[in-house]
Chains A and B, each alone.
Chain A
Amino acid sequence: MMNHRESDTDIPAVLATDALCCRYGTTVAVRDATLVVRAGEHIALIGGNGSGKTTFLRAVMGFHREYSGHITIGGRTVASRGNHPWVYRAIAWMPQRQATGAFPLLVHELLDSSLDPAAARQSAIDLAMEPFLTRNLSTLSGGQLQRVFLSRALGSLTGGAQLLVADEPTAALDFAGQQAMARLLTESAQTMLVVTHDRALIERCDRVYEMAGGQMREVPR
């Protein structure tokens, strides 16, 4: 975590968005969002439902492509298809929507998709998920799923990912679980952008941005 701000501009930006506007057809979900996340920073993104937080993250991840403005990860443009393999190796992702569809995927198969599968498995074991490695993801509880996706993300960080992008990573956890997850996330990820409503996690972040009506502003602390 960073302890000083005065030398921010000397620290390389891991993620930068400039005048980012995201649309769904004629609906504008994110308006003119400009954000720089520098190496070592933990940034929390807060806001009400439908304020554009998840759309912003999806654009950063390259999933939402209907946008104007610029997004760069480690100086490389997300919009350029040629950069996609590099961009996906640079980001460890914890999605909000963790179990989809009716098709099966086993826990160890998901962990093997991490940049460092061995580290991801070890993280899962550390998080008491060893008995579930051969289970179908659809049979897990919300909290168990979040631990699996956290393990995958931690494996990717060990494997060289520069930025952890997490969308409401503590949403399905009880209070003790939220505290533990907040500590683990901030201690494990050197650089993190997290969408959250969790006070424990927000308090551990360096800066907080709020989204409302698609617009982003920094919240004074």
Chain B
Amino acid sequence: MTAAWYEYFALIPVQRAFVALCISSAVFPVVGVWILGLNIVPVRFAMMHVALLGIALGMVLGLDTALMGVVCCGIVGIALAPLADKPTGLAGPMGLVMTLAIAAALLVLSIAGVNANGAFELLWGSILAMREQDVWMMAGISAAVVGVAVVFRRDLTLLLYDREIARSSGVPIGLVTTIVMGVIALAIGAAVRQTGALLVDAITILPALAARNMAQSQRGMIAWAVGIGLVGNLGGFILTLVINQPPGPVLVVTVSIITLLTYLKRR
């Protein structure tokens, strides 16, 4: 006999996944809004490869691979921030980081004689495989996202509109960009490792894309992104349990359909 979908909530991994999804769906769409505003959509791919480098270093050094992946993402995100002021922006350097990081990761693994497949497996996480410490790490990074969003609300509103308007308004754009890039990188790094690469888009960029179609202000964008993130991801998670299919693809398809529907809105 097949269990009813709600009976899966008796399982600890499902409970952890649901809690993690509630936290990340409510907070990480804000990161998606920042990513769109800074025009750095490739950051997801770049940080995925940097996370792999961190995991490789963790395996070689005998440290926690998840933590090393997140730490490496944070460091690289902060290091990239000064390039945001260049006329060419951050998209180019993101591509460079992506290539360099995966090459460096494979080199580190090769030199250390570690099987590369093991590292790749660690990279493709699943929300149903989250450990308790992973949930806590996600909660911590979510708190950092909320903190930055609240403390730098005015600065971010101006920065995401136009760097020169922000600068002329006295916004310390170097500091704010560095902090935001660091938090974005941490969030992406944690999400890739803990929920899987596919699900990162469902909890960050897709809700933000949908929100951009619906809102007339940045505050409205954040509200729409959080709402769509919660409805899409939690609805998708329940659908996952109902149809008994892997959560990553089901959540991405659910949020993607909602995002597609927003393009039907008349401006």
Contacts and interface: CB of A to CB of B under 8 A. Distances in A.
Interface of A: 61-63, 85, 88-89, 91, 93, 95, 100-106, 109-110, 112-114, 135-137
B158 interface: yes
A84 to B, nearest CB: 8
18 contacts: A63-B167, A85-B172, A95-B165, A103-B160, A103-B161, A104-B215, A104-B216, A104-B218, A105-B157, A105-B217, A109-B158, A109-B218, A110-B165, A113-B165, A113-B166, A114-B169, A135-B216, A136-B216
A109 B168 contact: no
Nearest to A108: B217
A43 B220 CA distance: 42
Contacts of B166: 113
A112 B168 contact: no
B252 interface: no
Contacts of B37: 103
Contacts of A88: 167-170
Chain B, interface size: which category?
20 to 34
Contacts of A62: 167
Nearest to B157: A109
A93 B170 CA distance: 12
B175 to A, nearest CB: 11
A110 B158 CA distance: 8
B212 interface: yes
B221 interface: yes
B168 A101 contact: no
Contacts of A63: 164, 167
Contacts of A135: 216
Nearest to B221: A104
Given A101-B39, A103-B160, A105-B157, 9 more contacts: A85-B170, A88-B169, A88-B170, A95-B164, A101-B162, A104-B218, A105-B158, A113-B154, A137-B161
Q: Which interface residue of B154, B169, B218, B220 has the most chain A CB atoms within 10 A?
A: B169
Contacts of A102: 212
A101 B161 contact: yes
Nearest to A99: B162
A100 B159 CA distance: 12
Nearest to A94: B168
Nearest to B159: A103
A61 B165 CA distance: 11
A100 B168 contact: no
Contacts of B39: 101
A109 B159 CA distance: 12
Instruction: List the 3 closest pairs (A to B, CB-CB), nearest first.
Output: A113-B169, A105-B161, A93-B168
Nearest to A135: B216
Contact of A100 (B36, B157, B161, B169): B161
Contact of A106 (B36, B167, B217): B217
A15 B218 CA distance: 36
B37 to A, nearest CB: 5
Interface string B213-228: 0011110110000000
A37 to B, nearest CB: 18
A113 B169 CA distance: 6
